[in-house]
Each structure stands twice: as C-alpha cells, then as structure tokens.
Structure 1
Amino acid sequence: MTELVRTIRKERRLTLEALAAQTDLTKSYLSKIERGQSTPSIAVAMRIAHSLNVDVGQLFADDASRSRIAIDRAQGRASSERYHPIAPRMLGKVMSPFIVRPGPDFANDPHSDHGGQEFIYVVAGTIELHHDTEICTLNAGDGAYFDSSLNHQMRSTGVLDAEVLLIACENIL
C-alpha cells in the first residue's frame, strides 16, 4: 500500500497536508502509512481512497493492473494478513470486498466509522461486533448488514481464529 498511496497522491499533485485535510487524518499518520510504518484500517483506507479517487481495494493490491474479472484463490492468501482485498483490480466496482482476520481485541482505531454500508459474514470462528452502542456475538455462518457511518469494530472471541467476509459500499445515491 505504501508506494501506491504516495504515487497516487503525487500524481494528483496533493501534499501530505492537503490529503490530511481531505481525510481528516494527521499528516504524521499519513506519512507513517506511506513509509510502511502503519497499516490503516479499512475505514481509514476508504477515506484515503475516496480522497485519491481510487477503489479502496487498489490500495491493498500488489499490482496496479486492472481486469474485468477477478478470481481470488484461498491458496494465494497469506494467513498473517489482517485485511485481504478481493478483486482489487476489478473495473467499475461499487463494492469493496475483503477477507478480514480480526484480532482478539477491538482495534484501537479512532476512525472506525465511514460513510456507506457494510455487510459481514463470519466464515470461520466467532466474533463480537460492536456497532454504535450494541455488541453482538456472531458465529460461523452468521451475518450482519449495518450502517457504517456509526462507530463499529469487531474482534475474534472463539478458540479458533475468526475469518470474516466484509463487503463495504459507499453511499452512491
């Protein structure tokens, strides 16, 4: 993500200060992202992508090439990845799908809300979803659809590491 954010920002002739103002993030935090010292949450990546006018999945992609179909093979996913974008090079996407492996603690992310909606589906394990003021337990096979403009976080709570399909969509109407 690091080189791509910096490259696109410079192509758009944006300074770190300008991007910080557009995303409501600090210049130092954006600098850490660009230098690979910090990995942003999906909500933060969505803010950056929106300001840079790119699909959020492209920020997580290793290759900036584009395609009309995307096949995501389980074998190609690193088990250590917290966020794995699905179809980051797909043209004209209106959704941003990810495989998420939440940790055992709610992420300490001050930017855990963003415009739009999300759908999560628990593929494996058990999670707690904290949405606004409510905490829900979701097991493998359970799903939740919610307004992502309200604060939301998730954490793995079971014996097995959780794996979640997350599909984010910005408001397009």
Structure 2
Amino acid sequence: MERGKIGARIKTWRERKNLTVEQLAEKTGLDPKFIEAMEEGAAAPALGPMVKLARALGTRLGTFTDDELSDDPCITRAATRTPDSAVQASGGKNLAMTYHHLGHGKADRHMEPFFIRLDPEDGEPALSSHEGEEFVVVVSGQVVLRYGQEVHTLSAGDSMYYNSVVPHHVGAGGNQAAEIYAVIHVPF
C-alpha cells in the first residue's frame, strides 16, 4: 500500500480521537514533524512508529494497511506480493526495508504477518522499541539482530523470537539483501 494511503488513515484515526498532531506526538514519543510528514505521505512509516501510532490511537496495526475485508482463510499468494502492495521504510540514506503485509483483510487478527526484504543500510541503524513480541524466520541472506546491547547474526533457516519492548533493530548483514518472514503481536 502506498504511504499516502497509510498517512491518510493515520490522520483519519487521529482526527476521530480529536487529537492534535502535538498530542499524538506526546502519546507516541514521535516527532510532530515526522507525524505530519507521514500524514502528508512525505515520509514512509516503518513498523515501529506505526505500532506506536496504533497503540496511541487504540487500534490494531493493520488498520493503517488494509484495503478491504476478506473472509477466512486469508490467503496471500507469493505471485501477488508486488512492490505496489508493500510499505517501504527508509533507513539511513537508502531504502532499507520493503514490507509485504500478509494479513490484508483479516479484520479479527491478533498478529501482523509480513514478508520483508532487507537491503543493506548506510550508517548505524537506530534501535526502536514498542510493546509486544516479534517472531522472525530468515529466508535468505544474513540478518543482524541488534537487541539491547547484544548483536546476533542469523542465516537462512534460523529464527528469532523476542520481546519488542527491548530496543532492537533487524537488518541485512554484510552488503547483500536478505529476506525474512516476521510476525508481530502487539496487545491493545
């Protein structure tokens, strides 16, 4: 889904809650200018900030990314995962992650499943934290998990499961892209 649609949904939910950008920034710890840029479609929201926004607005993360509701089972074919349906988030000076949401349309879900392509990043990545848990399986390449003060390198077939309230960052290892499946659970 394009970032303009996501930003419009964030703004709609903020306005429904009768919150100013500044009030939402205070509730989330995000910079008001970043929230404005997201709402205007000028900034690509990563998962961490979107989780914080969803919690502050009292909704699930998927509220910002779903286009339509579907019946169970919710099936996403690999052939339909195109960049047009992905949320892209910037890291450093280059595109660091492309998210493909795998739970589109499942309104009653309690988890947020994603297929994510991780590209090499410029500079030292920032750590983020939010309530909930994350489970990640590495599909290809090497992945580096920065978790608090720890650094772990994982390869294809390896998995990680962690409490996402601890500051963390998941990125491509080395100078090559990596691919992962990630499931995020955020209580609300």
TM-score interval, smaller chain? 0.7 to 0.9
User: Are 2:132 and 2:187, in contact at CA under 8 Å, matched by a contact in 1?
Assistant: yes
Query: Which moved further from structure 2: 49-58 or 99-108?
Result: 99-108
How far is the alpha carbon of 1:107 from its aligned partner?
Answer: 7.1
Aligned residues: 169
> Which of 140, 160, 165 is the equivalent residue of 2:181?
165
Aligned residue identity for 2:81: R
Aligned residue identity for 2:104: P
Gaps of 5+ in 1: none
| Counterpart position of 2:158 | 142
User: Are 2:138 and 2:159, in contact at CA under 8 Å, matched by a contact in 1?
Assistant: yes
| Counterpart position of 1:131 | 147
How far is the alpha carbon of 1:27 from its aligned partner?
Answer: 1.3
How far is the alpha carbon of 1:168 from its aligned partner?
Answer: 1.1
Aligned residue identity for 1:143: S
Distance 2:82 2:144 in 1: 23
User: Are 1:125 and 1:159, in contact at CA under 8 Å, matched by a contact in 2?
Assistant: no
How far is the alpha carbon of 1:152 from its aligned partner?
Answer: 0.9
> Which of 75, 79, 82 is the equivalent residue of 1:78?
82
| Counterpart position of 1:58 | 63
Distance 1:168 1:38 in 2: 22
Verify: 1:42 aligned to 2:58, yes or no.
no
Secondary structure (helix, strand or coil) at the match of 1:119 reads: strand
1:94-149 residue CA offsets vs partner (Å, 9 max, x unmatched): 11111122221277445x11111111001222111111111111111110011111
How far is the alpha carbon of 1:171 from its aligned partner?
Answer: 4.3
What value does the CA root-mean-square deviation take over the aligned residues?
2.1
Query: Which moved further from structure 2: 51-60 or 38-47?
Result: 51-60
Query: Which moved further from structure 2: 78-87 or 24-33?
Result: 78-87
Aligned residue identity for 1:76: T
How far is the alpha carbon of 1:159 from its aligned partner?
Answer: 6.5
TM-score in terms of structure 1 length: 0.86
How far is the alpha carbon of 1:78 from its aligned partner?
Answer: 2.3
Secondary structure (helix, strand or coil) at the match of 1:137 reads: strand
Distance 2:41 2:17 in 1: 20
| Counterpart position of 1:15 | 20
| Counterpart position of 2:32 | 27
| Counterpart position of 1:120 | 136
Aligned residue identity for 1:73: R
Distance 1:102 1:109 in 2: 15
Query: Which moved further from structure 2: 16-25 or 75-84?
Result: 75-84
Secondary structure (helix, strand or coil) at the match of 1:37 reads: coil
Secondary structure (helix, strand or coil) at the match of 2:118 reads: coil
Distance 1:169 1:138 in 2: 21
